[in-house]
Structure 1
């Protein structure tokens, strides 16, 4: 089966649209982190099962705002570990929405470069997707990634929060609690993968357009 320029750019466009949709859905849902109580051991204690997103927590069917306001918090009240967690939380809630905006802009660039069939513009757009996905940016001396960094930071943040909770209540306090990452985080990872795939497809399309432009025309 012969792969055409049109099929490549259409596939890249579909990947870009799905990547945007998955990331937007993940940011707007509350299944990034799930806490479940062992049903055999909750007869005498309150059921603290919950699932949370980046900005809110759903506990017992009731929605609560995230108790950590990393932008307006009084930093003098927190320990060094808690301050580090606040910094990670601030980075997460900035990087992931910013990545969504950049993904939308990349889609516009991809549409323009595809219509123009310009190898230079297609290569530039592909590179843009790679940069948005995996390359490093520097913010106030703190290294951070966009989609990949935001998701990775959330995982590190969650493990550190669990470790801090265990330090405060002891291992026995968490014996009846099971924690796991939810499907919202999975959608963010899928969005990252599709973002990379869109970049690869555009890069292949750029090479194909370059070959077509350099081929001699037959009179």
Structure 2
């Protein structure tokens, strides 16, 4: 079955929008990881809610207000430990990479719209490469975040020592991170669709010249 150019255009537009929306939702929500401390609350007979959920910018207690995370770009880091400094560097990395991917998607979407409208294969090709670069940046941000999460968990275990309170706490990734992964997949599919569109436009032009 022959693939039609307008079908590829609609495919690229759909997944481009989905990738953008998913990443905006991921960056703007506070459910990158969840801390379920319900067992600890029962164990300690605490009336205070200890469960929480965190985003890229802040940590929120359930049924309570949110607190901003430590600014990773502050230079006042002389009195903190080396592992903490590394965590701050990773935090600063992924909070820059993920919005950068959004900027690339916005630029690529605009460029792709005009390139497709003008049937300019080079512009469409460049758009595909921009989306693939954005996907690579998103993947780098996600990988850094997962490393950050693992490092933060190790640091918490070290600081808590022999109290073993974490045995009563369940920590896991949330749906905000899943949205970011969906965005990564959508960016890859959009980039590949634009590359295919560029090839189809080039073949169309060569056929027209031959006629």
- List per-residue Cα deviations over 1:3-35 (Å, max 9, x = no partner): 211110111011111100000011111110111
CA contact (8 A) 1:30 1:56 kept: yes
Identify, as 1 or 2, the structure richer in helix. Answer: 2
CA contact (8 A) 2:116 2:124 kept: yes
| Matched position secondary structure for 1:2 | coil
**Equivalent in 140, 147, 159 of residue 156 of structure 1:** 147
Instruction: Note closer, same or farther for the CA distance 1:89–1:217 as it changes in structure 2 (3 Å cut).
Output: closer
Relative to the length of structure 1, the TM-score reads: 0.89
Structure 1 residue 179: deviation in Å?
A: 0.7
- List per-residue Cα deviations over 1:126-177 (Å, max 9, x = no partner): 111112222xxxxxxxxxxx21111111111011000000011036121101
CA contact (8 A) 1:36 1:177 kept: yes
Equivalent residue, structure 2, for 1:137: none
Equivalent residue, structure 2, for 1:98: 100
- List per-residue Cα deviations over 1:25-70 (Å, max 9, x = no partner): 1111111011102437624254421111011112032232233221
- List per-residue Cα deviations over 1:65-104 (Å, max 9, x = no partner): 2332212252011111100001111111111112111111
Q: Which moves more between the two structures, 90-99 or 25-34?
A: 90-99
Q: Which runs of 5+ in 2 are unaligned?
A: none
CA contact (8 A) 1:56 1:63 kept: no
**Superposition map of 1:69-108 within 5 A:** 69-72=71-74, 74-108=76-110
Equivalent residue, structure 2, for 1:28: 28
CA RMSD after TM alignment = 1.8
1:51 aligns with 2:53: yes
Runs of 4+ in 1 over 4 A off after TM superposition: 216-219
Relative to the length of structure 2, the TM-score reads: 0.92
**Superposition map of 1:113-152 within 5 A:** 113-134=115-136, 146-152=137-143
Instruction: Note closer, same or farther for the CA distance 1:62–1:210 as it changes in structure 2 (3 Å cut).
Output: same
**Equivalent in 178, 187, 194 of residue 170 of structure 2:** 178
- How many correspondences in the alignment? 208
